[in-house]
Every structure is written in structure tokens, then in C-alpha cells.
Structure 1
């Protein structure tokens, strides 16, 4: 059974849109796309009067090298969100199929499924927010076409052991596509599981430049998967997903100097994460600081609502995650610069002392 047998039959057989850039490239006089012949003011040589490549070759090559996959195993788009949406639309029939998630987790999995009118089966994370593989497999139904796992998990920060990921991949073969969201993997001590896509055709991995690579505003994300899955998603992807300025920003970030800078900042985040964890644990009013392999800490407070308001009054915005299952007393605090982190601790010290 091919992994494509899990996808919607009408997507597999549809005739995709053929854009002007896909039909012809390399010409010197471009008169096939009804573009302006003049670059806009302030263009600075980008050529924004022309449509961009659907999958920019230089960026695809750079990302394939970064993630150690073949270029045909990579799809680049507008953040991980676009890849999640494309997967749900390609594999889930409205009103019939479903995804499986483990809350608390990233909210866009369920949002994309709901937009598609696909079901959402929830298998809560176990004690200490660990993945219960047996519970996931027990809850699996024939309707489930996608199983999303997030490692390190957002919003708790824990990683899923590689052995559990591989066990799921084996058990889901021929039944569902396992989508491993690694948006925060650069901050973790454990590495990516991207090489599993060569061993299991039903494994896909989400990566992004939004976090460790400091390009949240450029919206560049990737899906790593079996080449057939990549080809399927390209059928339904908008023809020009990546604006030229965003591609340029990504290529700069992935250059040799850009990679040096990113790794320097990663080292700072890791160091600050450990310092913040220890300092927060010593504050009165802090119940628990969850262990994290991401660039944030989920912190339980005696009164998270008061702490949130105190921080906001001091001009500090953190994430209120009390609506998530088993986190009704928690806030998620991103690791900032050393000065920002020190400011957070100072405000929390004052707030918890006065509480």
C-alpha cells in the first residue's frame, strides 16, 4: 500500500493549476504572465514586478542541505501553518476523515481540521506531559489519516523519545501519516528524526525558520516527507507562495555568516533557559517550572491570573496558557535577551513577594 492511498482520491487525480512560471522559465523577454515590465520604486534589484518561483531553487537547495534531505523530499511554504493546512486538505475528506492530536499541543492542528470539517480525536498527554503511545494506538480509528505529534511540545517544552516516534511510525504504516512537528528542535539536546522519512514513507516532519532562525516575520516553513507526498501537496499549493523579499531574507539567514549568528543566539537561549529555570524555581508563588527543550518555559503559579496582569502592567507580555488541558495555573514565558529575562525575574520577584 502506498502512502498516497491514504490521501483523498480526487486530489490524487486532479489536474493542478499550471502557473506561468511553471510552464516556462529562463527566457529573456517575459510576456506570458501579464506582469508589469517595470520594477516598483524601492525594489533594490529584487524584481518584485515578476512572480517568484513556486519553489525557489536556491532556497530549496539551502534548506535541503540544512535538514539533510533530498530536494524532492522538501516543500517550502508560508511557515509550518501552510504545510499543516495542506496536509489536512490533501488527506482528510470533509465530514468523513479525522486527525489525532495529544493536547495540550499546538492549536493549529485542530483549527485546520475544523476548517476542513475533519474530525479531531484527542488523546491527552500522560503524566508529566509525556506521549502515551499505547493510548494513541488504542484511540486510532480507520477515519484517522493524520497523527500529529509535537517535539519539543508547544506549550510544555518536553521532547518525545525517538524510540516512541519510531514505534508510532511502524504501527501507523498503511493506516495514517505521522506528522512530527519539530518547530523547536534546534533548541533541544536531541536531534531531528528527519532521516526516518527514508525508512518510513508515512513519516513527515515540519520545520520552520521562525524560531531559531529569527524569521517569524518572513514566514518560511518546510515539510520534509516522501517525494510522493511532496508532489501531492504541490498540486494544491497556491502557485506563488513565497514573496521575493522573504526568500531573500531566508537566504541571508542561511548564509555562512547567518548560520554563525543563529548558533551564537541558540547558545545564549540555552544558557538563559537554564538560568531562568533555576531562578523561577526559587521564587515564592511558583508551583512548578516544567522542564523544557524549547525556547520557552511553562511555569505554574499560585495565581497565574494576577501574575499575568502584573507582568502586563510592567510592559511584559507572556502567553496565558490556562485554557489548555492540565495547564490551568500556567503561563508560558519565552526566553528573551539576558536583559529582558532579568526584567521578567525582577517583576516576578516583586509580584510574588507582594502577593
Structure 2
């Protein structure tokens, strides 16, 4: 990528002008007040009969201190560089709404990719610039030159890079992300969605933040940490941007039971168990990919840095139905761009993966 002659933009210039001094809603839990009789939030003085621990009658801390400390330690960042929200979905929506003026600004996404980038852009009436992934011998990869041109020529405010990518599986080398940041010189915020980062050997893009304030990273406890129902995700970014995002966030994004579960799920013993399970997933990913690649009906198994495999089939409908008949539900990708013959299969337990292979083997024999 060539180095364009563009003026470096201050990070906060990327934020919508009408939100650059926005204070947001000040809830009853915003102020740091002390007391033993709490009558400032119109909460019930009594717990619900079903609330055995009596923890749910009070509104939660907007950014739970213990959870923020645990997540900051997990991801190697300062507490003021991190915003907790309802999974990565809320972070994506907040970023689009905070940076993009409706009907004026644009968002870059790289299909086939996670659909929430496009959904959030549409809800904000931000133009979506699709820069398709390139399907090459090594698998799908982003067209970084085309992404840079989309920003510099069409004025996009946000670039979403999914790494490892969903549904294609490959991580983006850190050097390539840094080269894009150098080319853009602050003209857009580059958001690296690392929902599957724990399954990859590629270092996190958080390591680039010291040199590039225009990079933000999304992480979640939904995948490797097995807390999908708790809906805990974070955006890691420059503290100035985090402050703006917090002002635009709903008052109480993290329910107390979810925060408590997440803190427990990040204890040393829980993290040790998670690391062991990640190792199992990586081993099973290699074993399953090897076994699937030799099946007659499988056209291609893409290399993956995530906890799933993307496959092309000679007859994807037959494969999908064979798996469903065996009680195995996989993700049908045939409506996604470039994937009209593809299914995505999450890596399960060894026993679940054996069922996948048995069902597809039986379907191949029957065909």
C-alpha cells in the first residue's frame, strides 16, 4: 500500500461533531455516593421473592469495578481503556452510532463476514462499503489496498476487520493491520473484532494501540470463555474514545448476575480450565479438518484460526440434511456472498465431532 499525502486527523475528529461534548444520561449509580439507606433510584425496598441472594433489586454498577479489573488484567489494558457492554454487538452498534453521521458517513466491511457490521450501519443510515474478501490458495483474506482506497476516496469513518474472521476462519497478520493503519494516517477508526482471538496464534491488535490511537479492539467472553448467555463483551480503545462511547451507552448495560458470573468465570481456576479447553479445541480442529478433507463430497476445508471450520461441499444441501438427520445442527452459509456451497461447523467435543464425521460418511456412502 502506498503512503498517501493526507493530514493526520485527531482521534476525536472521527467522532460525530454533535457528540464530542455529549455528557449522556447521569443515572443514580453515576455519582460516587455513600450511605446505608438508598432512596435515590426509586428501587423497591424489598427483594423479589425469587431473588434468593437479594442482589437484583438494586440497579447494577454501570461498569462493575471487579469485572472491569478482571477484564483489564485478561486483556492487558488499563481500566479506562476498556468499556464493558452487552457482547460485541453493543460495541459495534455504539461505534457506528458514535462516529457516523446518519446519511453522510460510511462503514467498511469485508463480506463474507459477521452480519452485525452491516446491520448497525443500516440502522444508523450509514453507507456500507463492501470490500469483498479474496478467496485465494491460502484461504480468504482482506483486500487491504481496496479497504484503504475506500477510506481515502469515499471518506469512510469506520473499518471493521474480523480476525479471526467469521465465517471464513483466518486471522489477519498483525503487520498487515499495522500497514493499513499507517496508510490511513488516522482518517478512519480501524476496529479489529477478535471474538475468536483465543484460538489463534496471531498476537492481539491491542499491541498496536501504543502507536496507533485509531485502532479499537473487540473481545468477548461468549466464545472461548463459554459465557455466551452472560452477554459480556468489551471494546478496548483510547481512553478519550471510551469516554465518548460510555456517554452514548444505555445506563445499566451489565446485569449484576451476569457480572458476578463473569468475575467467577475469570478466576485463576476457571482460566486454567478455559486454557485446557482451548487446547482441546485446537487439537480437534486439526483432527476434524484432516478427516473432513478426504471425504468425497467435500470440495474444500478452509484453514482456521477460530473454533470452527468452513467447508465447501459438492452438495451442501445433502450434507446439511444428513447432519440434521443425525441431530447435528451446523450453520448454513449458502446465502452469504461467495459461499453458495458452504457450511460452517463449530468444533465440538471429540464425541460431537465424531458424530459429524459419521453423519457425513454415511451420507457419502448413501450417495
TM-score normalised over the length of structure 2: 0.95
Partner of 2:113: 105
Partner of 1:278: 290
**Contact 1:152/1:294 (CA < 8 Å) preserved in 2?**
yes
CA drift of 1:124 comes to: 0.8
Task: Quote the Cα distance in structure 2 between the aligned partners of 1:44 and 1:11.
Answer: 41
CA drift of 1:46 comes to: 5.2
Q: 1:253-277: per-residue Cα shift (whole Å, max 9, x none)? A: 1001110111111111011001100
Partner of 2:6: none
Equivalent position to 1:125, from 125, 133, 136 = 133
Partner of 1:30: 38
SS of corresponding position for 1:99: strand
Partner of 1:302: 314
Equivalent position to 2:234, from 187, 197, 222 = 222
CA drift of 1:13 comes to: 2.5
Partner of 1:89: 97
Partner of 2:339: 327
Partner of 2:359: 347
Task: Quote the Cα distance in structure 2 between the aligned partners of 1:258 and 1:211.
Answer: 14
Q: 1:119-165: per-residue Cα shift (whole Å, max 9, x none)? A: 00011112331122112112223531000000000001001011111
Equivalent position to 1:156, from 168, 175, 179 = 168
Task: Quote the Cα distance in structure 1 between the aligned partners of 2:168 and 2:145.
Answer: 21
Partner of 1:137: 148
Are 1:47 and 2:59 matched, yes or no? no
SS of corresponding position for 2:280: helix
Aligned residues: 355
Choose 25-34 or 219-228, whichever is displaced more: 25-34
Are 1:318 and 2:363 matched, yes or no? no
**Contact 2:150/2:156 (CA < 8 Å) preserved in 1?**
no
Choose 40-49 or 204-213, whichever is displaced more: 40-49
Task: Quote the Cα distance in structure 1 between the aligned partners of 2:297 and 2:144.
Answer: 34
Partner of 1:78: 86
SS of corresponding position for 2:59: coil
CA drift of 1:45 comes to: 2.6
RMSD: 1.1
Task: Quote the Cα distance in structure 1 between the aligned partners of 2:33 and 2:309.
Answer: 47
Partner of 1:203: 215
